[in-house]
């Protein structure tokens, strides 16, 4: 029996970006981005405000023409294809729903434009309501009577109505409160699994990206500085910019002294890692002297974070953040000076 050849279609990227740039006057909002997005992938672009995320996704969706580069959908060049002729759909943060229409009318909008008959539209809308985890009787409800989370689910159902191959999401959850955002992150991930479609998602929150994505691209000034799985990015951030996106981390510089390389501010010998910085997560700092690198720190502030406690520490000029679990022997008091330590194995080394 012969082993079947891998299906050639399976290897064709769902979307291939080849040197995509978008120039606004002198500003390169998107600067020569090359990337293949796999069929069925949940791909997330993370970056600070102004880094070019929306511009890039608008180019991918056909809402904006690139200044340079080509865009291939399953190997076919669609660079100049108008948005309404692409098998893609977009979900925005600003919930662009028709407030004066019902939930059902909103979901059916694209189908109505295409001339789908009312009974088929209604049947499909019911499927989409179920897919978006909304009760059937929402069909006749006014959109204005729906909560923020429900409106976001309606927007997703509406985007799915045209049965797109690729869905784009531009910060769809950023206007919602924390708990609702957490719930919808999980629902979005499930929706991705249930539909099997390619999701291209934008957020400024690496934490949000971590929960949902197969791969993450970190964007800075129009370029991707790192692309990898959530685990890659978390364990091996490429540079200080990426490390800074992981929330509150300690970034230690290494200084050359007459006695060799040292952790700046700690006075401990460090590996001779020219030009690299040591990234140390708050939970990698331990109270007490059990770690290989030990120093005295003054407790500046104590913050309770549910099951963990965060301490803001000071070692001379150096500010550090430690997070201790419930097993820590006793709460440390602001003002006291006590031993802290860490193990070099817990360091992630990054470039400038
Ligand atoms: P993000 O979505 O990451 O916040 P944007 O893609 O919205 O970033 O913007 C990237 C840069 O491009 C910003 O400096 C922004 O001011 C600029 N920009 C975006 N759209 C336009 C436009 N239509 N004309 C001129 N500059 C723009
Ligand atoms: Mg944006």
What tens digit of pLDDT does each residue of 264-291 get? Answer: 999 899 988 878 999 999 999 999 999 9
pLDDT at 4 over 60: no
pLDDT at 329 over 70: no
User: Domain for residue 120, yes or no?
Assistant: yes
Whether residues 210 and 285 fall in one domain: no
User: Domain for residue 299, yes or no?
Assistant: yes
Interval between CA 45 and ligand 2 midpoint (Å):
11
Whether residues 226 and 317 fall in one domain: no
Whether residues 91 and 155 fall in one domain: yes
Interval between CA 241 and ligand 1 midpoint (Å):
20
Whether residues 29 and 178 fall in one domain: yes
pLDDT at 91 over 90: no
* pLDDT attached to residue 1: 46
Whether residues 55 and 204 fall in one domain: yes
Residue 316 — left, alpha, or beta (φ > 0 → left; ψ -120 to 50 → alpha)? left
What is the average pLDDT score of the chain?
91
* Boundary (domain end) residue, out of 203, 225, 241: 241
* pLDDT attached to residue 69: 98
User: Domain for residue 338, yes or no?
Assistant: yes
Whether residues 97 and 22 fall in one domain: yes
Per-residue model confidence as pLDDT tens digits over 196-221: 999 999 999 999 999 999 999 999 99
**CATH code at position 275:** 2.40.50.100
User: Domain for residue 57, yes or no?
Assistant: yes
Whether residues 295 and 312 fall in one domain: yes
* pLDDT attached to residue 206: 93
* Residue 290 near residue 300, CB atoms below 8 Å: no
Ligand lying closest to the C-alpha of residue 94: 2
* pLDDT attached to residue 266: 92
pLDDT at 179 over 70: yes
Number of domains in the chain: 2
* Boundary (domain end) residue, out of 216, 241, 266: 241
Q: Which two tokens stand for residue 345?
A: 């194995």
Interval between CA 24 and ligand 1 midpoint (Å):
8
Per-residue model confidence as pLDDT tens digits over 301-321: 999 888 889 999 999 999 999
* Boundary (domain end) residue, out of 219, 241, 263: 241
Whether residues 228 and 260 fall in one domain: no
User: Domain for residue 268, yes or no?
Assistant: yes
Helix, coil or strand: residue 351: strand
The pick from 21, 27, 90 for probing ligand 1's pocket by mutation, whose C-beta has the most ligand atoms within 8 angstroms, reads 27
pLDDT at 79 over 90: yes
Give the DSSP H/E element, type plus range, for residue 230: helix 230-235
Whether residues 169 and 252 fall in one domain: no
Give the atom of ligand 1 at the shortest distance from the alpha carbon of 51: 3
User: Domain for residue 4, yes or no?
Assistant: no
Whether residues 233 and 254 fall in one domain: no
**CATH code at position 36:** 3.40.50.300
Query: Which residue range is the domain that position 341 belongs to?
Result: 248-350
pLDDT at 224 over 50: yes
Interval between CA 29 and ligand 1 midpoint (Å):
6
Interval between CA 52 and ligand 1 midpoint (Å):
6
Indicate which residue's Cα is closest to atom 12 of ligand 1: 29
Q: What are phi and psi of 125, to 5 degrees?
A: -60, -40
Whether residues 73 and 167 fall in one domain: yes
User: Domain for residue 275, yes or no?
Assistant: yes
Per-residue model confidence as pLDDT tens digits over 132-158: 889 999 999 999 999 888 988 999 899
Give the atom of ligand 1 at the shortest distance from the alpha carbon of 171: 2
Q: Got the DSSP string for 101-163? A: SBHHHHHHHHHHHTT--HHHHHHHHHHHHHHTT--GGGGGSBGGGS-HHHHHHHHHHHHHTT-
Whether residues 58 and 141 fall in one domain: yes
Sign of the CA dihedral running 79, 82, 85, 87: positive
User: Domain for residue 10, yes or no?
Assistant: no
């Amino acid at each position: 029996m012969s082993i079947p050849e891998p299906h050639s279609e399976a290897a064709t990227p769902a979307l291939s970006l080849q040197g995509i740039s978008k120039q606004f006057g002198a500003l390169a909002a998107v600067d020569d981005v090359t990337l293949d997005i796999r069929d069925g992938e949940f791909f997330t672009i993370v970056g600070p405000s102004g880094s070019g995320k929306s511009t890039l996704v608008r180019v991918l969706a056909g809402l904006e023409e690139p200044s340079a580069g080509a865009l291939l959908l399953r190997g076919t060049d669609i660079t100049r294809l108008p948005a309404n002729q692409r098998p893609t759909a977009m979900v925005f943060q600003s919930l662009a729903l028709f407030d004066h229409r019902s939930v059902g009318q909103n979901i059916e909008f694209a189908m109505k434009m295409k001339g789908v008959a009312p009974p088929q539209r209604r049947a499909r809308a019911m499927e989409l309501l179920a897919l978006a985890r909304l009760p059937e009787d929402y069909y006749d409800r006014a959109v204005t009577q729906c909560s923020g989370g429900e409106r976001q689910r309606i927007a997703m159902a509406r985007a799915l109505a045209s049965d797109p191959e690729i869905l784009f999401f531009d910060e769809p959850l950023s206007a919602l409160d924390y708990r609702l955002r957490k719930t919808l992150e999980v629902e979005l991930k499930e929706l991705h699994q249930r539909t099997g479609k390619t999701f291209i998602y934008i957020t400024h929150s690496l934490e949000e990206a971590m929960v949902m994505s197969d791969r993450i691209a970190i964007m800075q000034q129009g370029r991707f500085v790192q692309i990898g799985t959530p685990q890659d990015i978390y364990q091996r951030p490429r540079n200080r910019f990426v490390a800074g996106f992981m929330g509150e981390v300690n970034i230690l510089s290494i200084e050359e002294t007459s006695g060799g390389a040292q952790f700046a501010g700690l006075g401990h010998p460090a590996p001779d890692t020219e030009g690299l910085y040591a990234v140390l997560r708050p939970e990698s700092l331990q109270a007490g002297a059990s770690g290989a690198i030990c120093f005295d720190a003054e407790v500046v502030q104590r913050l309770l974070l549910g099951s963990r406690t965060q301490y803001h520490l000071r070692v001379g000029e150096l500010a550090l953040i430690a997070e201790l679990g419930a097993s820590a022997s006793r709460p440390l008091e602001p003002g006291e000076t006590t031993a802290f330590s860490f193990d070099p194995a817990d360091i992630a080394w990054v470039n400038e």
